[in-house]
Structure 1
Amino acid sequence: MAPPFKVVVTGFGPFRDHKVNASWVTVQKMKETGGLGSDIELEIVHIEVEYGTVDQVVPKLWKQHKPQLMVHVGVSGRAKSITLEECAKNTTYATQDNSGKCPRNGCCKKSGDSCLKSSLDMKKIAEEAKKINPDIEIETSKEAGRYLCEYIYYTSLHLKKGASAFVHVPPLNRKYTEEELATGLRTVITLMIDQIRSR
């Protein structure tokens, strides 16, 4: 019998005006409403909006769970749709986190490449997701924001332990309910899994 396909999905806690972070609400709702199916081993993890926490927690998650796919989810106040981030940059992190800190020299990984790209074809996933859920807008981006969202994405990509992805969701009820966001998130992650399995 083949071992289960393992997926870890993270969501962030509150920060600034986001007293309830739509990312964590969406991740929880996705799991509560069926997860990713009975053949997928799903682990969801809450992450504080702190660079140091990301540095400590993300490597542990890869080591402990050994997932084939890790998906980080964050909220963007500018987002009007579910956004699949194609890549993450290594430098110019200058915005303080919840603990009032920034990465040293504004850099995620001292020896890292300037930009890392996901091994997943995000444009193809977005196109397929829109066919499945035409009422939920899905788009791609190459600018993840140079804050904790891009920082956690770069951290996972730099570890090179498996496929990594980042999904931005808009604030709750701006355009979509938490149920709709959970449905959209489930769809894109399922397509990511299908893409990995087809390699």
Structure 2
Amino acid sequence: MPSNDPHKPVKVLLTGFAPFLDITINPSWQICQFLQQHPPTNFTNIDLMIHPTPIPVSYHKMHALLPSLYEQYDPDIVIHLGLAAERHYFAMEKSAKRDGYHDVPDEDRRVWTRGEGKKFWGKEKERLETDLDLDSAVNTWKSSVAGMRHSLPPSSASNASQTASASASEMQVDVKQSDDVGSYVCGFLYFGSLLEMEKRKKKRDVVFLHVPGLEGVKEVEIGARVVEAAVEGLV
């Protein structure tokens, strides 16, 4: 449980990523912006804190930012949103690995070298898992979004043709648990955040939530509702 006091609001920190490469508009950040402008009205005993600027798609900037995020917000739960453009579903990721961030350059055209990994994380476990009960959270999440529908760009929708019904791109909102956060900035942020919370609070109540390639105001609003449901499921 995030808190032993049932009357104390659970502080949930939500972040989203900045645009990068050919992703000129990042739906993970658009969802955060929407929730800033339209705060959830149905939350009970939840203090949703949204970081007001997007997370930079930069290994070194993220590494420098994480301690200040925890210092500023002192969160009970952290949810990092990120884009998985090739997927048609929303997913809570189970774990992140320590190594492997030396292959793909970030937006600054830099990598997290093996030497840096050894210097900062060399004594840590090769993989860290969230302490949050994702099995229970995802079950609640699925129930909450039942009946929601959304549309995806053709490239994403074509991967989910088996779930499409009303049109080639309109489908039931799909949410699930995953263990494939990847070896790029998503995995890097997740591992670093899990480690930061563990050091500060002796727990890892952090989750990375991948969102599909949502486009347009309507789809972002639906994405925000899905994320709201995820927050309630985790708390």
Which protein shows a greater Rg?
A: 2
Which range moved further: 27-36 or 183-192? Answer: 27-36
SS at match of 2:16: strand
1:54 corresponds in structure 2 to 62
Structure 2 residue matching 1:157: 3-state secondary structure: helix
C-alpha RMSD of the superposition: 2.1
Aligned to 2:48: 42
Q: Name the structure 2 match of 1:120.
A: 132
Q: Which moved more, 1:39-48 or 1:51-60?
A: 39-48
Partner of 2:229: 187
TM-score, normalised to structure 2, is: 0.76
SS at match of 2:92: strand
Alpha-carbon distance in 1 for matches of 2:109, 2:225 = 34
Count of residue pairs brought into register by the alignment = 192
Partner residue, 2:75: 67
Structure 2 counterparts to residues 58-137 of structure 1, below 5 A: 58-93=66-101, 94-105=103-114, 107=117, 109-134=121-146, 135=148, 136-137=173-174
* Paired residues of 1:30 and 1:185 also in contact (CA < 8 A): no
1:172 equivalent in structure 2: 214
Q: Which runs of 5+ in 1 are unaligned?
A: 194-199
Residue 161 of structure 2 corresponds to none
* CA–CA distance in structure 1, aligned partners of residues 133 and 44 of structure 2: 25
State the partner residue of 1:152.
189
Secondary structure, in 3 states, of the residue corresponding to 2:141? helix
Select which of 140, 148, 155 maps to 2:177. 140
Q: Aligned AA for 1:102?
A: V
Distance in 2 (alpha carbons) for counterparts of 1:115 and 1:128 = 26
- Aligned identity (percent) is 26
The CA deviation string for residues 144-173 of structure 1, in whole angstroms up to 9 with x for no partner, is 011111111101111213511110001113
Say yes or no: does 1:33 pair with 2:38: yes
Gaps (5+ residues) in structure 2?
Answer: 149-172
Q: Which residue of 1 aligns with 2:27?
A: 22
> TM-score, normalized by length of structure 1?
0.88
Question: How many angstroms apart in 1 are the aligned matches of 2:213 and 2:20?
Answer: 12
